[in-house]
Structure 1
Amino acid sequence: MRVPFERTGAAPVPAHARQHLVRMRDGTRLATDVYLPEAADEPLPAVLVRLPYDKNSRYVYFDKVARLFTARGYALVVQDVRGKFRSGGRTLPFLREPDDGYDAIDWITHQPWSDGTVGMFGDSYYGFTQWAAVASQHPALRAIVPRVTTVDFNATTALDPRRTEDGVGRPVWIEGIEYYAHHWVDQDTYDYEPDRRVRPVIDQYEQAFAAIGARSAWFDLLAPRRTDVLHALGRHPFAARPVPVLHCVGWYDNIGIPHMNDYLELASRPGWDAVQYLWAGAVDHENYRLDLAPVTEHTDHAVSDAALERLLPEYTGPALEFFDVFLKGSRPVAALSKVRWELGHEGWRTATAWPPPGTGERTFWLTEPAAATAGSLPGGGLSDTPAADEDHARWAYDPDDLVPSLVADSFSYLRDHPDASGLAAREDVLAFTGPVLSEPLDLAGPVSLDLRLAGTAPVFDVFAKLLDLAPDGTARLVVRGQVSVRGDGSSRDVRIECGHTGYRLRPGHRLALLLASSDYPMYLPCSGSEDNPWTTLVPKSSIQTLGTGGASPSRLTVTVLTPPSG
């Protein structure tokens, strides 16, 4: 079967940019746009962006971002990374970014408009290129603003539980690996929809590569294998010279968990801790906001220029304030809050640390498991006290009837922000719900699950979704987490980290929890056997068991803001 696809190449260079072909140390030239203020009487600090998504595309809108940076007195330099769009070299992510980042910074410092100081800015992969430049340790790099990103992207895509000491890993995140099959084939980008009916799953992509006439070398490394990117970089960025970092995290970002882990790791490291700053908002990977979800044609910045203009000040503002301190020195360090965070449905707050001072843990115990398979919410209970007696709930994994992913693209989850209540009607989904709230419940910190689990398969997956159940019966995502577990049929305790959030559950609402063993096509279906899930032709069904009450009760732990006394 031939897979239809759409190929997108480089857009025109804007009139207010000047493109240079900047030479790297091996002779490869990278296409680089420079945006300068209209009247620059003296050398300027520069902000560098290095990305693989076409520096001139509407998708990254740097022609519009540039106007805000140059108006603030910065040169903005935007570069297509090696092998992408107008830049030369082999199309292969990650590996050359430290050297290329160093060379790009060095080129900037030798330009007549440069004052010799450089910052870096950007989302996702162009957040990673900032970490790669940190690893290369150019002395001119003075501050970075990585947004919705992580230092090790490939650690997010999968972790085989058979290769871990505790037998707990991560399911295969198809979206995270499929990304390379769209964006890292050659200089251009390819949009296509794999035929999800094809087995083995790997053949879905073989069909696409055959239609395109080229393939992604990095996809071939990750599916079905895995490559350690940080080892390939040489020096880990966290082992490099500390630089000030403003971590811009989205509560609904699909890589928000590793990004928060990066922040917390550096905030605990001597030398790095003093220069770590956090901006955390109720946004997803593509900068859609909770307070506008689900979006309309008029509020969708991907298609509406007016909506994009409204987004830009919030998108660039935190970075500009940060660079004013650490590049220009025009504002004191004391002007920056160490933590600025959004409490969803309530607004923005500041704190001296994360989680904010004044938070504490609250535990909800999973109870009434017999009702968890009732076929609708509320299902079982999330109670303040555990049940005295041990009890169990069982659910099936059927590879021929997978639990559907509620969005086609989790990178832009809040564009749809779907109602998840219908999933509770499935027999292969467990549901638990807490009491109706009489007062607001403010979540501000990590969320985790400790579950007593057993499975009949050698490997099984568990997907958890914590929801806000509204009085009208709709249920919308707050946080999520997932694990892949090596099993031998016996019960074991398994922790699921669901990341961090800032979120207000309003009076009349309830917490709800859904547990399942598939989430397709966001995640690769488990093989249910020792077979590789990418290549298995016949995945096997299994039964999972959840234990509640007794000596090892299952529980949900949330971090909450403690109401002020009196």
Structure 2
Amino acid sequence: MKTKNCLLLVIALLCNSILFSQKIYLPKEVHNKKASIPKVMKKISKIVLEKDKKDSTTFYYNSIFQIQLLAEKYKNAETSIDKYIDGYTINKLRTGRMFLYKVFAKAGQLSKKESIPFNEAYKKSFTNSYINLKDVLKPEVTRSVNNDTKTSDLEERFHKSLKEYKDKDSLSIGQAKSLCNAFSKFYIYSKVGQLAHKLLDEEDKKIFDIRRNVLIKTGNGGEVTALLIRKKGTKRKLPAIFVYNIYAGSYDYEVAKRAAVNGYVGVAVNTRGKRLSKNEILPFEFDGKDSYKTIDWISKHKWCNGDVGMMGGSYLGFSQWSATKNLHPALKTIVPQVSVGIGIDYPMQNNVFMSYMLQWINYVRNNKFTDENVFASSDYEKAYDEYYLKGLSFNKLDSILNKGENKIFQKWLQHPGYDSFWQNMVPYKNEFKNINIPVLSTTGYYDADQIGALYYFNQHYKHNPKANHYLVIGPYSHGGGQHYPSKVLMGYTIDKAALISIHELAYQWFDYILKNKKKPELLKDKINYQVMGANSWKHCSSFGNMNSNTFKFYLSNITDGQNFKLKTSKPSHEGSISYEIDLSKRSKNDSHGFFSGTIKGEEINSENAISFITEPFNEDVSVNGTFGGELNLAINKKDLDVFIKLYEILPDGSYFFLSEYLSRASYAKDNENRELLEPFKNYKFPIKQSFMTSRKIAKGSKLLVIFGVNKSKYWEINYGTGKTVSTETIKDAGEPLLVKLINNSYISVGYNKEEK
């Protein structure tokens, strides 16, 4: 009976595989007769729905709803949208991205039911849907409707995708789905995009007083552009929420409207050079000076009661810290979320520059708004590949892409240490002592800017022990730490306790500080962190008292299968592990980066690295905070870039990614001053500024440490000559890098025993 069931299962899987691999005919006319495209794509979308392998995953619903809309299966599309939203996020609009699509699905059903033109049905559906939204959800619609990507760009992307199949007469199911989604997005926005924008504008004018494109002079020739929104009918003066944003676009309207529906005046201001400003766009450099003048301007207006709060994430988190370098009396609180630590974690992480910096520079500097095509372009990956495979110097990355120098990129590369160039942009050392306003910081364990957020928090308390600064951190990405968390993050279903709205928390905080309401319930102490796997939040007054115990794991030279052992006792005799990496060897098949892309998985990338593992834990513990330690090593060159990854290995052999660390050895002791290594001489340096985590480690699990050397297209490659790293090429690689890791090297991990 068991054999028969297995045989039936194999046959079923085989049938599904054959069905899924079936080809879909692609008529040649789609390439040379533009007018035929809508008809052909609708026909293909219907075939896809017939042949596609259906399931109940969030990924499936996200991949299929636009195809259902294109095929005019409107009821099915609405169901898929709802299931996607419910499966993905705690917020019913997923920051509003789905509103336009959901109204489109409703309009299609209404048009058929009442036999009325589609646009008339869309007007009715839009108005009814928007009016019936709670006020606090109305801002979420904004970016869905006022999409920053032009319809012409969506059309161009579709044709670019279509061109890939110019010489083919058939598509696989996967290719057909991808092409249908690209066309559907263009088709929907071309059909209702302008109409939706008009309808939203009409409805919002009934609710809000809106002032657009207000030019503010900031002194020394500087000028910035502001958008102001407040609820109609408000007679009294209100506190203002100021959001200082380089990403000029629909987000400004969203955040200003969010402030208004929460009982504040929303003021979204774009940095120098954006919108109406005639200045050159120079990211980060003038924000502190301009924000002082802007806060002064806001606080003196008749609609403001003189109190100003700031909020926002990523660059907008940085801009708040820049505003505290010279604190204006009207600035009463800041809520920096997933804050960029300029010179700390961006554009370099612990003194290692990242390739992404060039893409970001072009994204914000190509025009007065943001160049959305930058992130849709494959040119950057191609440039990274060329830089890596040819072994070019990192400072030529802009020339590969732009056929010329990028001024900002080159300027940043001139500052590989945390020098006055970076220090002048945000508070530095004793300047943190003067920040005496309440602060609420949020970030995530998987936020790329977590190191920056924790840097500001730690520096604030280091120089001002009486600071009133709260931290909230959980299993959030860069987006989740400033908006709404995803229910499933990179393969990990986060605990229900972690499903909080960062927007809601921010406005609870503003009500507490600016309106004398109660403090947010979550903020029970200065540090508030969610323990993954325990479905609970913990609270402590400092990182120093977060844990009652500390593991000190020595990187021993004793083997344990494919790994070396992590020992809790200090070795009695000096030993070492030697391995080498050829920095001149390149292949298209090389893996890059230190993180596999999933939090939970089966296979760990340990390329260019060695691994160390503990014994199984004999009881449940929670590991909390950043990991530290000390590395003692000798190399045959003058420098190297070290990476460390920390994993939990579960009893079934699968992994859970916890934390990572990347640092340039010559800056590890002091990120301001470079100290080159002497070849073949032992060199000790501390492990600082790793990523924080908090996770319940179950009995029977092990900790795995991956130690290696950076050799990735996503970062500048340190060849160890001692020259400025961004100028080194593959010709500087010389002989392979030899690493001798001494066995008294260790990492330290704080932990608490789990309560019974």
Q: 1:396 maps to which residue?
A: 580
Q: CA RMSD in A?
A: 3.4
Spell out the pairing of 1:104-503 with structure 2 (5 A cutoff): 104-150=294-340, 152-153=342-343, 156-158=346-348, 170-176=351-357, 179-187=360-368, 188-189=370-371, 190-191=374-375, 192-193=379-380, 194-198=383-387, 199-210=392-403, 216-226=406-416, 228-233=420-425, 236=428, 237-270=431-464, 273-287=466-480, 289=485, 292-294=488-490, 314-331=501-518, 336-337=523-524, 338-355=526-543, 356-357=545-546, 359-370=548-559, 376=562, 379-399=563-583, 400-401=585-586, 404-406=591-593, 416-417=598-599, 419=601, 421-424=603-606, 426=607, 428-485=608-665, 486-487=676-677, 488-497=679-688, 498-503=690-695
1:509 corresponds to which of 689, 701, 719? 701
Q: 1:518 maps to which residue?
A: 710
Q: 2:727 maps to which residue?
A: 535
For 1:202, what is the secondary structure of its paired residue?
A: helix
Q: Aligned pair in 2 of structure 1 residues 367, 358: CA closer, same or farther (>3 Å)?
A: closer
How far is the alpha carbon of 1:321 from its aligned partner?
1.6
Q: 1:303 maps to which residue?
A: none
Query: Structure 1: where are the runs of 5+ without partners?
Result: 1-6, 160-168, 300-310
How far is the alpha carbon of 1:389 from its aligned partner?
3.1
The one-character-per-residue Cα deviations of 1:508-541 (angstroms, maximum 9, x if unpaired) are 3221000111151332111232343323332413
The one-character-per-residue Cα deviations of 1:27-84 (angstroms, maximum 9, x if unpaired) are 554222222224423211111111111241xxxx454555543332122211221123
Between the aligned partners of 2:344 and 2:538, the Cα distance in structure 1 is 32
The one-character-per-residue Cα deviations of 1:493-513 (angstroms, maximum 9, x if unpaired) are 222222432222233322100
Between the aligned partners of 1:155 and 1:176, the Cα distance in structure 2 is 11
- Greater CA deviation, 514-523 or 311-320? 311-320
Mapped contact 2:394–2:717 kept (Cα < 8 A): no
Mapped contact 1:420–1:477 kept (Cα < 8 A): no
Q: Aligned pair in 2 of structure 1 residues 545, 370: CA closer, same or farther (>3 Å)?
A: farther
Q: How many residues align?
A: 514
Q: Aligned pair in 2 of structure 1 residues 530, 135: CA closer, same or farther (>3 Å)?
A: closer
Between the aligned partners of 2:698 and 2:328, the Cα distance in structure 1 is 48
The one-character-per-residue Cα deviations of 1:98-135 (angstroms, maximum 9, x if unpaired) are 22112221222233321111000011211111112122
Q: Aligned pair in 2 of structure 1 residues 23, 172: CA closer, same or farther (>3 Å)?
A: closer
How far is the alpha carbon of 1:546 from its aligned partner?
0.8
TM-score (structure 2 length as normaliser): 0.62
TM-score (structure 1 length as normaliser): 0.81
How far is the alpha carbon of 1:324 from its aligned partner?
1.1
For 1:508, what is the secondary structure of its paired residue?
A: coil
Structure whose CA Rg is larger: 2
Between the aligned partners of 2:694 and 2:329, the Cα distance in structure 1 is 36
Q: 2:63 maps to which residue?
A: none
For 1:89, what is the secondary structure of its paired residue?
A: coil
How far is the alpha carbon of 1:172 from its aligned partner?
3.0
Mapped contact 2:345–2:451 kept (Cα < 8 A): no
Between the aligned partners of 1:151 and 1:207, the Cα distance in structure 2 is 28
Between the aligned partners of 2:591 and 2:326, the Cα distance in structure 1 is 43
- Greater CA deviation, 532-541 or 181-190? 181-190
How far is the alpha carbon of 1:454 from its aligned partner?
0.9
Q: What amino acid is the match of 1:48?
A: F
For 1:149, what is the secondary structure of its paired residue?
A: coil
Q: 1:546 maps to which residue?
A: 741
For 1:136, what is the secondary structure of its paired residue?
A: coil
Q: 2:746 maps to which residue?
A: 555
Mapped contact 1:397–1:518 kept (Cα < 8 A): no
Q: Aligned pair in 2 of structure 1 residues 125, 312: CA closer, same or farther (>3 Å)?
A: farther
For 2:213, what is the secondary structure of its paired residue?
A: strand
- Greater CA deviation, 84-93 or 232-241? 232-241
Percent identical across equivalent pairs? 19
Query: Structure 2: where are the runs of 5+ without partners?
Result: 1-147, 152-192, 205-209, 666-675
Q: Aligned pair in 2 of structure 1 residues 184, 228: CA closer, same or farther (>3 Å)?
A: farther
Between the aligned partners of 2:477 and 2:535, the Cα distance in structure 1 is 16
For 2:713, what is the secondary structure of its paired residue?
A: coil
Mapped contact 2:225–2:274 kept (Cα < 8 A): no
Between the aligned partners of 1:273 and 1:333, the Cα distance in structure 2 is 20
For 1:243, what is the secondary structure of its paired residue?
A: coil
How far is the alpha carbon of 1:91 from its aligned partner?
0.7
Q: Aligned pair in 2 of structure 1 residues 145, 32: CA closer, same or farther (>3 Å)?
A: same
- Greater CA deviation, 512-521 or 106-115? 106-115
Mapped contact 1:482–1:496 kept (Cα < 8 A): no
Mapped contact 1:344–1:503 kept (Cα < 8 A): yes
Q: 2:231 maps to which residue?
A: 37
Between the aligned partners of 2:274 and 2:499, the Cα distance in structure 1 is 25
Q: What amino acid is the match of 2:488?
A: L
How far is the alpha carbon of 1:186 from its aligned partner?
4.8
- Greater CA deviation, 457-466 or 523-532? 523-532
Q: What amino acid is the match of 2:626?
A: P
Q: Aligned pair in 2 of structure 1 residues 335, 202: CA closer, same or farther (>3 Å)?
A: closer
For 2:722, what is the secondary structure of its paired residue?
A: coil
Q: Aligned pair in 2 of structure 1 residues 312, 140: CA closer, same or farther (>3 Å)?
A: farther
How far is the alpha carbon of 1:447 from its aligned partner?
0.8
1:49 corresponds to which of 243, 246, 258? 243
Between the aligned partners of 1:137 and 1:533, the Cα distance in structure 2 is 37
For 1:264, what is the secondary structure of its paired residue?
A: helix
Q: What amino acid is the match of 2:539?
A: A
Q: What amino acid is the match of 1:100?
A: D
Between the aligned partners of 2:698 and 2:499, the Cα distance in structure 1 is 30
